[in-house]
Amino acid sequence: MESNVALITGGARGIGKGIALDLAAQGWSVAICYRTSAQDAEETAKAIQNLGGQALSICCDVSDSQACQTLIKQVEEQWGKIDVLVNGAGPYHRINLFNESPEGWDEMFTNNLHPVFYLAQAVAPGMKVRKFGRIISFSMANADKMEAQPMVTAHYIAKTGILILTRTLAKMLAPDGITVNVISPGFIDSGSAPPGELDGMEKKIPAGYVGEVKDTISAVRYLLSDDARYVTGTNIHVSGGWGM
């Protein structure tokens, strides 16, 4: 039986890795994309194979539109299709807006927002031919509130942009059986947060505790299931009530 195929950017570590391993345990073929985490990517690819999935690890700068086109072609040439695209790459930094550099400002958009567009544009043709596809991106739990964010301004604007882009893609691709959705995590202990950032956050989270990667995986499972075939353009908060 032909296996399902997923491409996960940022799949070498954190939430992306968790999703990759969960799909591998279900027998999926999983391509992970990384930019600098070569050793982590190698370890994740081995873990995918150990769980019974097929693995493909590709170094790619998804802020480059042409590189995104090449990435999609590599995966499609390897396995003939891409059923699911998970946009998991998305670095950020904390800095006061008036201390931000032009380079730092641009980085937040080129690495968070632009790849979602580039990859959707590249993967959509194949999905449309097959009349099936799932695209999942990540925002943040309070992005839909459009609050002032003096320390993460560009990152926050980029994550808000993902919400608008997702709804647009969902409307355009729905006639072809493709769903496009967003998951917006709050504070998740994925191993990617700077040391100490999660300390003391419990008191700010209505649920009373920091989330785990498995909480995000559960949302992904739902969006990939047949139960969610009519769900598109939505934004699922995985935050324990934080950010509302």
* DSSP, residue by residue, 92-145: -----GGG--HHHHHHHHHHHTHHHHHHHHHHHHHHHHHT-EEEEEE--TTGGG
Q: Which residues are catalytic?
A: 156
Measured between alpha carbons, how far is 119 from 172 in angstroms, rounded to an integer?
15
pLDDT for position 194: 64
pLDDT digits (tens, 9 = 90+) for 153-167: 999 999 999 999 999
- φ/ψ (deg, to 5) at 31: -100, 130
pLDDT digits (tens, 9 = 90+) for 81-121: 999 999 999 888 999 999 999 999 999 999 999 999 999 99
User: Taking the CB of residue 141, how many other CB atoms lie within 10 A of it?
Assistant: 25
Which residues of the chain, if any, have pLDDT below 70?
1, 193-195
Residue-range domain boundaries for the chain:
5-238
User: Which CATH number among 3.30.420.10, 3.40.640.10, 3.40.50.300, 3.40.50.720 corresponds to the domain 5-238?
Assistant: 3.40.50.720
- Report strand pairing: 5-9 vs 29-34: parallel
Entry pTM: 0.95
- Cβ neighbours for 157, distance < 8 A, ≥ 6 positions apart: 108, 109
